[in-house]
Amino acid sequence: MLSPTLNSYISYLCLFLSLSNLSYIKSQLDYSEPKSQWKTPCGDGKRQSPIDFPLNYTNYDNQPFVKFISVNYGFNSTGTINGTFEIKDKNIYKITPNGTEWGYVIFQKDSIDYKYDLKEINFHISSEHKFNGLAGDIEMQLIHVKNNDWLISKNISSSDIENPNLAIGVLIKVASLKDNENFANLNIKTKGPIANYNIQAFPPFGKPFLFYLGSSTTPNCEENTNWVIVHTMEKISKDQYDGFRSWLDTSYPGVMNNRKTQKINDRKLYYQFYPEQVVRPIK
Protein backbone atom coordinates (compact mmCIF):
# COMPACT_ATOMS: atom_id res chain seq x y z
CA MET A 1 0.00 0.00 0.00
CA LEU A 2 1.35 3.43 -0.92
CA SER A 3 2.14 5.80 1.87
CA PRO A 4 0.08 9.03 2.08
CA THR A 5 3.22 11.04 1.33
CA LEU A 6 4.12 9.01 -1.76
CA ASN A 7 0.52 8.99 -2.91
CA SER A 8 0.38 12.79 -2.62
CA TYR A 9 3.64 13.10 -4.53
CA ILE A 10 2.34 10.92 -7.39
CA SER A 11 -0.88 12.95 -7.52
CA TYR A 12 1.13 16.17 -7.61
CA LEU A 13 3.38 14.77 -10.39
CA CYS A 14 0.37 13.72 -12.48
CA LEU A 15 -1.13 17.19 -12.05
CA PHE A 16 2.17 18.81 -13.05
CA LEU A 17 2.48 16.65 -16.16
CA SER A 18 -1.13 17.36 -17.05
CA LEU A 19 -0.62 21.10 -16.74
CA SER A 20 2.63 20.90 -18.71
CA ASN A 21 0.86 19.07 -21.51
CA LEU A 22 -1.93 21.65 -21.44
CA SER A 23 0.65 24.42 -21.75
CA TYR A 24 2.19 22.60 -24.72
CA ILE A 25 -1.18 22.33 -26.45
CA LYS A 26 -2.01 25.98 -25.85
CA SER A 27 1.34 27.15 -27.22
CA GLN A 28 0.91 25.21 -30.46
CA LEU A 29 -1.07 26.77 -33.26
CA ASP A 30 -3.40 24.27 -34.91
CA TYR A 31 -3.29 25.02 -38.63
CA SER A 32 -6.35 22.92 -39.42
CA GLU A 33 -9.25 25.34 -39.81
CA PRO A 34 -11.80 26.14 -38.59
CA LYS A 35 -10.66 26.10 -34.96
CA SER A 36 -11.34 28.41 -32.06
CA GLN A 37 -7.92 30.01 -32.57
CA TRP A 38 -8.90 31.22 -36.06
CA LYS A 39 -11.28 34.02 -35.18
CA THR A 40 -12.86 36.67 -37.42
CA PRO A 41 -11.78 37.76 -39.99
CA CYS A 42 -9.85 34.50 -40.56
CA GLY A 43 -12.89 32.55 -41.68
CA ASP A 44 -14.93 35.16 -43.51
CA GLY A 45 -12.45 37.80 -44.67
CA LYS A 46 -12.37 38.80 -48.32
CA ARG A 47 -8.62 39.36 -48.71
CA GLN A 48 -7.02 36.55 -46.72
CA SER A 49 -3.52 35.14 -47.18
CA PRO A 50 -1.82 33.05 -48.42
CA ILE A 51 -3.04 32.47 -51.96
CA ASP A 52 -2.24 30.26 -54.94
CA PHE A 53 -1.31 32.29 -58.04
CA PRO A 54 -3.16 30.58 -60.95
CA LEU A 55 -2.04 30.67 -64.56
CA ASN A 56 -5.54 31.15 -65.94
CA TYR A 57 -6.59 34.05 -63.71
CA THR A 58 -8.09 36.93 -65.69
CA ASN A 59 -7.39 39.73 -63.22
CA TYR A 60 -3.59 39.98 -63.52
CA ASP A 61 -2.06 43.41 -64.14
CA ASN A 62 1.52 43.86 -65.38
CA GLN A 63 1.47 47.65 -65.48
CA PRO A 64 3.98 49.29 -63.07
CA PHE A 65 2.31 49.74 -59.70
CA VAL A 66 4.78 48.77 -56.97
CA LYS A 67 8.57 48.79 -56.96
CA PHE A 68 11.50 48.46 -54.58
CA ILE A 69 13.53 51.65 -54.69
CA SER A 70 16.43 50.88 -52.33
CA VAL A 71 17.40 48.65 -49.43
CA ASN A 72 19.42 49.07 -46.25
CA TYR A 73 19.45 45.77 -44.37
CA GLY A 74 21.87 44.54 -41.75
CA PHE A 75 24.25 46.16 -39.36
CA ASN A 76 26.43 48.92 -40.76
CA SER A 77 24.47 48.64 -44.03
CA THR A 78 26.30 45.42 -44.95
CA GLY A 79 23.13 43.54 -45.86
CA THR A 80 24.04 40.73 -43.48
CA ILE A 81 22.78 39.82 -40.03
CA ASN A 82 23.95 37.70 -37.12
CA GLY A 83 21.67 36.02 -34.62
CA THR A 84 20.05 32.76 -33.53
CA PHE A 85 17.09 30.59 -34.44
CA GLU A 86 14.29 30.03 -31.96
CA ILE A 87 10.78 28.66 -31.84
CA LYS A 88 8.58 31.65 -31.07
CA ASP A 89 4.91 32.59 -31.23
CA LYS A 90 3.35 29.13 -31.29
CA ASN A 91 5.08 26.74 -33.70
CA ILE A 92 6.65 29.29 -36.05
CA TYR A 93 10.42 29.52 -35.90
CA LYS A 94 12.18 32.80 -36.40
CA ILE A 95 15.53 34.52 -36.50
CA THR A 96 16.37 36.63 -33.48
CA PRO A 97 19.09 39.14 -34.38
CA ASN A 98 22.09 40.06 -32.26
CA GLY A 99 21.28 43.73 -31.84
CA THR A 100 18.23 45.90 -32.41
CA GLU A 101 18.37 47.12 -35.99
CA TRP A 102 17.28 44.90 -38.85
CA GLY A 103 17.31 47.67 -41.44
CA TYR A 104 14.65 48.77 -43.92
CA VAL A 105 13.55 49.10 -47.53
CA ILE A 106 12.15 52.00 -49.51
CA PHE A 107 9.14 50.66 -51.37
CA GLN A 108 7.11 52.58 -53.92
CA LYS A 109 3.39 52.00 -54.28
CA ASP A 110 1.22 53.92 -56.73
CA SER A 111 4.04 56.49 -57.22
CA ILE A 112 4.46 57.16 -53.47
CA ASP A 113 7.64 56.15 -51.60
CA TYR A 114 7.32 54.46 -48.20
CA LYS A 115 9.90 53.35 -45.67
CA TYR A 116 9.27 49.91 -44.20
CA ASP A 117 11.32 48.73 -41.23
CA LEU A 118 12.15 45.00 -41.14
CA LYS A 119 10.81 43.55 -37.88
CA GLU A 120 11.09 39.78 -38.16
CA ILE A 121 12.06 36.86 -40.39
CA ASN A 122 10.11 33.63 -40.06
CA PHE A 123 9.93 30.28 -41.83
CA HIS A 124 7.04 28.01 -42.82
CA ILE A 125 7.18 24.35 -43.92
CA SER A 126 5.97 23.83 -46.59
CA SER A 127 5.45 27.17 -48.34
CA GLU A 128 2.23 29.05 -47.67
CA HIS A 129 1.99 30.65 -51.12
CA LYS A 130 1.90 28.58 -54.30
CA PHE A 131 2.45 29.09 -58.03
CA ASN A 132 -0.38 27.38 -59.93
CA GLY A 133 -0.58 24.65 -57.29
CA LEU A 134 3.19 24.28 -56.94
CA ALA A 135 4.44 24.83 -53.40
CA GLY A 136 7.97 25.38 -52.20
CA ASP A 137 9.39 23.15 -49.49
CA ILE A 138 9.88 26.22 -47.27
CA GLU A 139 8.74 29.83 -47.33
CA MET A 140 10.81 32.55 -45.71
CA GLN A 141 8.84 35.70 -44.90
CA LEU A 142 10.44 39.08 -44.23
CA ILE A 143 7.90 41.10 -42.26
CA HIS A 144 8.09 44.91 -42.34
CA VAL A 145 6.14 47.72 -40.69
CA LYS A 146 5.59 51.15 -42.23
CA ASN A 147 7.63 53.95 -40.64
CA ASN A 148 5.10 56.79 -40.29
CA ASP A 149 7.65 59.12 -38.67
CA TRP A 150 9.72 58.92 -41.85
CA LEU A 151 6.66 59.89 -43.92
CA ILE A 152 6.11 62.91 -41.68
CA SER A 153 9.77 63.92 -41.89
CA LYS A 154 9.59 63.76 -45.70
CA ASN A 155 6.23 65.58 -45.75
CA ILE A 156 4.69 62.62 -47.60
CA SER A 157 0.96 62.08 -47.41
CA SER A 158 0.23 58.34 -47.21
CA SER A 159 -2.57 56.98 -49.37
CA ASP A 160 -2.14 53.46 -48.00
CA ILE A 161 -3.31 53.94 -44.42
CA GLU A 162 -5.13 50.61 -44.19
CA ASN A 163 -1.97 48.58 -44.99
CA PRO A 164 0.79 49.24 -42.44
CA ASN A 165 2.63 45.98 -43.19
CA LEU A 166 4.84 44.80 -46.04
CA ALA A 167 5.72 41.10 -46.30
CA ILE A 168 8.22 39.61 -48.74
CA GLY A 169 7.72 35.89 -49.34
CA VAL A 170 10.62 33.83 -50.68
CA LEU A 171 9.85 30.24 -51.68
CA ILE A 172 12.64 27.71 -51.18
CA LYS A 173 12.92 24.37 -52.99
CA VAL A 174 15.06 21.28 -52.45
CA ALA A 175 16.68 21.30 -55.90
CA SER A 176 20.44 21.30 -55.39
CA LEU A 177 23.02 18.61 -54.68
CA LYS A 178 25.18 21.22 -52.96
CA ASP A 179 24.40 23.38 -49.96
CA ASN A 180 23.19 26.90 -50.73
CA GLU A 181 26.11 29.06 -49.59
CA ASN A 182 23.97 31.88 -48.18
CA PHE A 183 21.59 29.55 -46.33
CA ALA A 184 24.65 27.73 -44.97
CA ASN A 185 25.30 30.90 -42.96
CA LEU A 186 22.16 30.07 -40.96
CA ASN A 187 24.02 27.03 -39.57
CA ILE A 188 20.64 25.33 -39.56
CA LYS A 189 22.07 21.80 -39.70
CA THR A 190 24.16 22.28 -36.57
CA LYS A 191 21.77 24.70 -34.83
CA GLY A 192 24.71 26.98 -34.34
CA PRO A 193 24.69 30.79 -34.32
CA ILE A 194 23.79 32.66 -37.50
CA ALA A 195 26.74 34.47 -39.03
CA ASN A 196 26.71 36.85 -42.01
CA TYR A 197 23.37 35.77 -43.42
CA ASN A 198 22.78 38.04 -46.44
CA ILE A 199 19.15 39.17 -46.40
CA GLN A 200 19.84 41.97 -48.87
CA ALA A 201 19.79 39.32 -51.62
CA PHE A 202 16.04 38.69 -51.30
CA PRO A 203 14.11 41.90 -52.17
CA PRO A 204 13.38 41.51 -55.90
CA PHE A 205 15.66 43.97 -57.68
CA GLY A 206 15.80 42.89 -61.32
CA LYS A 207 13.70 39.81 -60.48
CA PRO A 208 10.03 39.22 -61.32
CA PHE A 209 7.62 39.30 -58.40
CA LEU A 210 3.90 39.16 -57.68
CA PHE A 211 2.02 41.65 -55.55
CA TYR A 212 -1.40 41.59 -53.91
CA LEU A 213 -3.27 42.91 -50.88
CA GLY A 214 -3.72 40.31 -48.18
CA SER A 215 -3.60 39.47 -44.50
CA SER A 216 -1.48 38.01 -41.76
CA THR A 217 -1.29 34.22 -42.12
CA THR A 218 -1.75 33.65 -38.38
CA PRO A 219 -4.63 34.69 -36.11
CA ASN A 220 -6.15 37.21 -35.96
CA CYS A 221 -5.60 37.30 -39.74
CA GLU A 222 -5.77 41.11 -39.96
CA GLU A 223 -6.24 42.27 -43.56
CA ASN A 224 -3.52 44.90 -43.50
CA THR A 225 -0.58 43.59 -45.53
CA ASN A 226 1.08 44.43 -48.84
CA TRP A 227 2.35 41.03 -50.03
CA VAL A 228 5.33 40.64 -52.39
CA ILE A 229 6.11 37.10 -53.53
CA VAL A 230 9.40 36.62 -55.39
CA HIS A 231 8.64 34.63 -58.54
CA THR A 232 11.87 32.61 -58.58
CA MET A 233 12.53 29.94 -55.96
CA GLU A 234 15.74 29.70 -53.95
CA LYS A 235 17.45 26.29 -54.13
CA ILE A 236 18.82 24.37 -51.16
CA SER A 237 20.11 20.85 -50.55
CA LYS A 238 18.20 17.98 -48.94
CA ASP A 239 20.54 18.16 -45.93
CA GLN A 240 19.68 21.82 -45.45
CA TYR A 241 15.95 21.08 -45.67
CA ASP A 242 16.32 18.31 -43.09
CA GLY A 243 17.97 20.86 -40.81
CA PHE A 244 14.98 23.21 -41.17
CA ARG A 245 12.56 20.33 -40.68
CA SER A 246 14.33 19.23 -37.48
CA TRP A 247 13.51 22.52 -35.79
CA LEU A 248 9.81 21.75 -35.92
CA ASP A 249 10.32 18.05 -35.21
CA THR A 250 12.26 18.87 -32.06
CA SER A 251 9.59 21.11 -30.54
CA TYR A 252 6.43 19.90 -32.29
CA PRO A 253 6.95 16.40 -33.73
CA GLY A 254 5.05 15.79 -36.94
CA VAL A 255 3.62 19.31 -37.08
CA MET A 256 3.58 21.53 -40.15
CA ASN A 257 3.26 25.29 -39.77
CA ASN A 258 1.78 26.54 -43.04
CA ARG A 259 -1.71 27.93 -43.50
CA LYS A 260 -3.71 26.59 -46.45
CA THR A 261 -4.29 28.88 -49.42
CA GLN A 262 -7.35 31.15 -49.33
CA LYS A 263 -9.86 32.35 -51.92
CA ILE A 264 -8.68 35.18 -54.16
CA ASN A 265 -12.18 36.72 -54.33
CA ASP A 266 -11.58 38.72 -57.52
CA ARG A 267 -8.61 40.59 -56.09
CA LYS A 268 -6.28 42.19 -58.60
CA LEU A 269 -2.92 40.40 -58.76
CA TYR A 270 0.07 42.32 -60.06
CA TYR A 271 2.97 40.78 -61.96
CA GLN A 272 5.90 43.20 -61.73
CA PHE A 273 9.28 42.97 -63.44
CA TYR A 274 12.00 45.61 -63.79
CA PRO A 275 14.81 43.64 -65.49
CA GLU A 276 17.30 46.52 -65.69
CA GLN A 277 16.96 47.41 -62.02
CA VAL A 278 19.90 46.82 -59.68
CA VAL A 279 20.08 46.99 -55.90
CA ARG A 280 20.41 50.61 -54.85
CA PRO A 281 21.85 51.54 -51.46
CA ILE A 282 20.07 54.13 -49.32
CA LYS A 283 21.17 57.65 -50.16
Q: Tell me: do 18 and 128 sit in the same domain.
A: no
Number of domains forming the structure of the chain:
2
Residue 123's domain is classified under what CATH number?
Answer: 3.10.200.10
Q: pLDDT tens string for the chain (283 positions)?
A: 555 554 554 444 344 333 333 333 445 788 888 777 888 899 899 999 999 999 999 999 999 999 999 999 987 678 888 888 877 666 777 887 776 668 999 999 999 999 999 998 999 999 999 999 999 999 999 999 999 999 999 998 888 899 999 999 999 999 999 999 999 999 888 878 888 899 999 999 999 999 999 999 999 899 999 999 999 999 999 999 998 888 777 767 777 789 999 999 999 999 999 999 887 666 5
* 0.85 surpassed by pTM: yes
Q: Which pLDDT score is estimated for 76?
A: 67
* Residues spanned by the domain of 21: 1-30
Q: Tell me: do 89 and 162 sit in the same domain.
A: yes
Q: Tell me: do 150 and 88 sit in the same domain.
A: yes
Q: Which pLDDT score is estimated for 85?
A: 80
Q: Which pLDDT score is estimated for 255?
A: 73
Q: Which pLDDT score is estimated for 165?
A: 97
Q: Tell me: do 22 and 41 sit in the same domain.
A: no
Q: Tell me: do 175 and 202 sit in the same domain.
A: yes
Helices (H), 50-158: 148-153
Q: Tell me: do 120 and 206 sit in the same domain.
A: yes
Q: Tell me: do 70 and 136 sit in the same domain.
A: yes
Q: Tell me: do 20 and 154 sit in the same domain.
A: no
Q: Which pLDDT score is estimated for 102?
A: 85
Residue 49 lies in a domain: yes
Give the other-Cβ count within 10 Å of 129's Cβ.
Answer: 27
Q: Tell me: do 48 and 182 sit in the same domain.
A: yes
DSSP 144: E
Single out the residue of 184, 182, 188 nearest to residue 202, CA to CA. Answer: 182
Q: Tell me: do 11 and 110 sit in the same domain.
A: no
Residue 214 — φ and ψ, nearest 5°?
-145, -150
Residue 75 — φ and ψ, nearest 5°?
-80, 135
Helix (H), strand (E) at residue 8? helix 4-27
Residue 79 lies in a domain: yes
DSSP string, 199-265: -TT-S-SSS-EEEEEE--SSTT--S-EEEEEESS-EEE-HHHHHHHHHHHHHHSTT----PPP---T
Q: Tell me: do 147 and 132 sit in the same domain.
A: yes
Residue 281 lies in a domain: no
Q: Tell me: do 225 and 195 sit in the same domain.
A: yes
